[in-house]
Amino acid sequence: MINKIWFFIIAFSVAFAATNGKLEALNEEIFTSLKSSVDISLGLLGNLMLWCGILKAAEKAGLVEKLGYIIRPVLGLLFRDIPEKSAAMGAMVMNITSNMLGLGNAATPFGLKAMAELQKYNKDKNTATNAMALFLVINGAPICLIPSTVMSIRASLGSNNPGAVIIPSMITSLAALTVGVICCKIFEKREGKME
C-alpha cells in the first residue's frame, strides 16, 4: 500500500512539474535533496555510533539494572494483576529502562517478550488485556533521559548546543507518559463499571 502512495506522490509531482514547465527545477531539486540526505546520514552515523557506544557501556556497567530497581515498585502499582516476580514484569522493567536510556534496539526484544508473557495472563486470546494496553502506551511514550537520536541529528546539522533538548525531552516525554497512563486507567475503570 505504501508503495502505491509513494508512486502516486511521485507521479503527481512529475505531472505537475511537466504541465507547469518546471521539470528542470524538479530535476535539480531531486539531486540537491539526495546530496543533503547523504550529508546528513554521514553526520548522523558518527554521532549515533558514539552514543550507542556510551549507552552500551552504561548498560554493561549495570545502569539498566539500577534504573530497574527504581521503576519496579512503580510498575507494581500500575500492573496490580501481574505478579511482581513474573517474567512479564522483568521484561517490562528491562524494556522501559532500555527506552529511558535511548537503547531502542535493546528495548525491542524485551518489549516483544513482555507482550508474549502478558498474553499468558490473558483469558481472551483475541483481545488485548488492560495490562497489555497500558504497557503498549508506556512503551510508546517512554520517559527519555537521553534523546541520543535527536541530539545526533542536531549535531549533524551544525547545532551549537545539541544537548539543549535533554530537559525539554524529559518534560514532554513525562507529560506524554502521564497523560497516556491516566487515560488507560480511566478507560480501565469505565470498562469495569460497564461489566
pLDDT at 135: 92
H-helix segments, 63-165: 63-78, 87-100, 104-119, 130-140, 148-156
pLDDT at 105: 67
pLDDT at 103: 66
Tally of CB atoms within 10 A around 40: 13
Task: Name which residue leads in pLDDT, 186 or 1.
Answer: 186
User: Which of 12-21, 82-91, 147-156, 173-182 tops mean pLDDT?
Assistant: 173-182
pLDDT tens-digit readout, 22-32: 888 888 888 88
pLDDT tens-digit readout, 142-157: 888 878 778 877 887 7
- The dihedrals phi and psi of 62, each to the nearest 5 degrees, come to 95, 10
Residue 152 identity: S
